[in-house]
Amino acid sequence: MKLLKDRVTMITGASRGLGKALAVRFAGEGSKVVLAGRSYDAMNDICRAISGSGGEGSAVRMNVQDPESIRAAVDEAVELYGRIDILINNAGISMVSPSESLSYEDWNNAIGTNLTGVFFCCQAAARHMIDRGTGGCIINISSTFGKTPVPRRAAYCASKAGTDMITRVLAAEWAEKNIRVNAIAPGYLNTEFIQDLKRQGKLDTESLNRRIPQGRMGNVEEITGLALYMAGDEATYMTGSVVYIDGGWTAYGFV
Ligand SMILES: NC(=O)c1ccc[n+]([C@@H]2O[C@H](COP(=O)([O-])OP(=O)(O)OC[C@H]3O[C@@H](n4cnc5c(N)ncnc54)[C@H](O)[C@@H]3O)[C@@H](O)[C@H]2O)c1
């Protein structure tokens, strides 16, 4: 029995990394998936692979920094499949800089993508969920950096701490509309996001691994199962939760 048969899931930033893994996993569980992002060709390739495995998926263009583009993408998803049951706010960017030299533009870029973008995607999808009257589920991809202060990551940490807070606010506000809002806060995951930082010399993965209690970074496949649980029928009493999957990082209190 497929866990998400006939549901419609929209996933932002689904062209690679965690977003791609979520799209493939949700499609495998019977959900129609809408991959929303800027890398249209990459998302179409993923949709073709999903179709090849018997699933159903479509790509829509969306820049989460642009509220008009968010509204248009959500409308397009609703036009394609009639509704959105599940929204996963996954799109995100990293921002590493000494705080004394962090530019106004870089600060706004991180906050605009990781926090403002998440809020307006929640708003656009929730408007449809509320109009339809059957509720829905929102999952925000946060980070352990929303909890642990990390030097040279002021904008990124602030954006993820803000994401945790809007998760709780919206959960409380939209509970009466039957919309559940939760967040997953991963520790370091071995994705292109991390490979990019490594290439730029902004991350020493060997010393990092020594500081993670489990001694390694996580894989995206170790995150998708929790998203599936949060979206499914067994999590109907779960809302406003921020759940860490981090190899013991936050338990140990590392920075
Ligand atoms: N990789 C990690 O170690 C890690 C750890 C904790 C949290 N996260 C979070 O997980 C999420 C996914 O990370 P990932 O590692 O897969 O990163 P990634 O860089 O591989 O993927 C991010 C995706 O977001 C998209 N994106 C960026 N800006 C966008 C915009 N303005 N509009 C639309 N799409 C946009 C990118 O094109 C890409 O598809 C992010 O929110 C990130 O903060 C990642």
Distance between Cα 194 and ligand 1 center (Å): 10
- Predicted local confidence at residue 142, as pLDDT: 98
Instruction: Examine residue 201 and state whether it is found in any structural domain, yes or no.
Output: no
Q: Which residues line ligand 1 (CB under 6 A)?
A: 12-13, 15-19, 37-39, 62-65, 90-93, 113, 141, 143, 186, 188-189, 191-194
Instruction: Examine residue 159 and state whether it is found in any structural domain, yes or no.
Output: yes
Instruction: Examine residue 20 and state whether it is found in any structural domain, yes or no.
Output: yes
- Residue ranges of the chain with per-residue pLDDT less than 70: 254-255
Instruction: Examine residue 254 and state whether it is found in any structural domain, yes or no.
Output: no
- Predicted local confidence at residue 1, as pLDDT: 84
CATH number at residue 63: 3.40.50.720
Instruction: Examine residue 194 and state whether it is found in any structural domain, yes or no.
Output: no
What size, in residues, is the chain? 255
Which string of DSSP letters, residue by residue, matches 37-73?
Answer: ES-HHHHHHHHHHHHHTT-EEEEEE--TT-HHHHHHH
- Residue 115 is part of which domain span? 8-189+221-238
* CA dist., res. 143 & res. 150, Å (int): 12
Instruction: Examine residue 209 and state whether it is found in any structural domain, yes or no.
Output: no
Instruction: Examine residue 147 and state whether it is found in any structural domain, yes or no.
Output: yes
- Predicted local confidence at residue 254, as pLDDT: 65
H helices of the chain, in order, are: 17-28, 40-52, 67-81, 104-111, 117-132, 154-174, 192-199, 205-211, 221-231, 249-252
Instruction: Name the phi and psi angles at 93, rounded to 5.
Output: -130, 155
Instruction: Examine residue 204 and state whether it is found in any structural domain, yes or no.
Output: no
Distance between Cα 155 and ligand 1 center (Å): 15
- Predicted local confidence at residue 253, as pLDDT: 76
Distance between Cα 140 and ligand 1 center (Å): 12
Domain count, the chain: 1
| Identity of the residue numbered 240 | G
